[in-house]
Structure 1
Amino acid sequence: MTYSVKELYFTLQGEGAHTGRAAVFLRFAGCNLWTGLEKDRASAVCKFCDTDFVGTDGPGGGKFKHADVLADAVAANWPGDVSGKPYVVCTGGEPLLQLDQTLIEAFQERGFEVGVETNGTMEAPANLDWICVSPKSTATLAQRSGNELKLVYYQEDAPPEAFQDLAFDFFYLQPMDGPSRADHTAAAVEYCKQHPQWRLSLQTHKLIGIP
């Protein structure tokens, strides 16, 4: 299988339960809820995406002909003088269109803990170490359990109440970015105060200006 990667680099995880953790960030190209083209945004299931996942022209991006080649590229991005368990965050777009058990095993053979950030419309491989599901609009959830549910807030057709009984360890509300981010943040704060099951997740990488 050839893997199409938009970008690949070493950074800190910016949001959710692993905020501040050193990680290799692996963004796969492509998504099943939006083409990534502005001309298609209005008709997309997920209309608020703020991520460029089109093509393979980002830092470290490209076409990788098989799992070992991509796993070697990920390992090469983890500095040799960094202590602790290596961690790779697989995201997109929608990573589960490409991330498979073979690639996960290749990462793990190189000592990596493997996390995924998915929209949940596809079932995740069983051998992942960390599953973060971020539900989008009216898209049907196939992956209804995992470590972390991270809901972009506010989505009129995806209220927190629709997900609060699912089998996740952590529940996060993340204010929707854009012109109304301050209002979304205030609303998320109030919701978390009234519903302590939910925690606030901020996009700290944007706040401090790192990729």
Structure 2
Amino acid sequence: MNIEEEVAQGKKLPVMEAFYTIQGEGRFTGHPAYFIRLGGCDVGCIWCDVKESWDSGKWPVLSIDKIVADALAFPGRLVVITGGEPLMYDLGPLTALLKDKGFTTNIETSGAHPFSGNFDWVCFSPKKFKKPHPSIYAEADELKVVVFHKSDFAFAEEHANLVNSNCELRLQPEWSKAGKFSPMIIDYVKNQPKWKISLQTHKFMDIP
């Protein structure tokens, strides 16, 4: 079996970086977490702060055994799989192994590809640049919409109408536009209390 076949089966994955830190945003803000950032993305967000992740060919392809062994070196047992766009890959084998080793598994995804994997928490952050795959809506535990433009409030409501009724709803100002949109988000959430605010606390606190 060649590397391409192993990647297609989720036995090996391109890993841009993996690091132990504090989750800075969303439902698990403040929790110690091991991040696994997979290489490869075809969504193309203009504000992406990890554009170097987009080309999967730049990053080492690691076995899931190696990925999990590296995670086990740290005391925390919360793993966040992110990207890039992690659902470009079959995450079933990786998440099965993580769960077998006692990890809580989270994902941060744009939902642009078919859902896969066994996750305890699914943070769905849709983007206008590539339409989400329909499979994400039933799986999402958290809808997190980044507000970069005034039209993103309507975009957020569009997706809020599609997720399941237990999904938590969050609006997050895009970092470079926070001065402009934070007051608008505050007013919006006060008037639409089904929403909560998410902030990138790791940037405020300079958490690497």
Same fold per TM (> 0.5)? yes
Determine helix, strand or coil for the equivalent of 2:141.
strand
Q: Percent identity?
A: 33
Determine helix, strand or coil for the equivalent of 1:159.
helix
Give the alignment's Cα RMSD to 1 decimal: 2.1
Q: Any unmatched runs of 5+ in structure 1? A: 35-45
Distance in 2 of aligned mates of 1:62 and 1:55: 11
Matches within 5 A, 1:1-211: 1=6, 2-34=12-44, 46-52=45-51, 53-54=53-54, 62-64=60-62, 66-76=63-73, 78-79=74-75, 86-125=77-116, 127-142=118-133, 143-145=136-138, 146-155=140-149, 156=151, 159-165=155-161, 166-167=163-164, 168-178=166-176, 180-211=177-208
Distance in 1 of aligned mates of 2:114 and 2:42: 14
TM-aligned CA deviation for residue 130 of structure 1: 1.1
TM-score for both structures, normalised by structure 2: 0.83
**Stretch of structure 1 that moved more, 5-14 or 98-107:** 98-107
**Stretch of structure 1 that moved more, 120-129 or 146-155:** 120-129
Residues 16 and 38, structure 2, Cα contact 8 Å, conserved in 1? yes
**Stretch of structure 1 that moved more, 105-114 or 1-10:** 1-10
Post-superposition CA distance 1:141-164 (Å, at most 9, x none) = 221132101000144366222122
Aligned length: 189
**Stretch of structure 1 that moved more, 156-165 or 197-206:** 156-165
TM-aligned CA deviation for residue 17 of structure 1: 0.5
TM-score for both structures, normalised by structure 1: 0.82
Determine helix, strand or coil for the equivalent of 1:189.
helix
Q: Any unmatched runs of 5+ in structure 2? A: 1-5, 7-11
Greater helix fraction, Structure 1 or Structure 2: 2
Residues 40 and 84, structure 2, Cα contact 8 Å, conserved in 1? yes
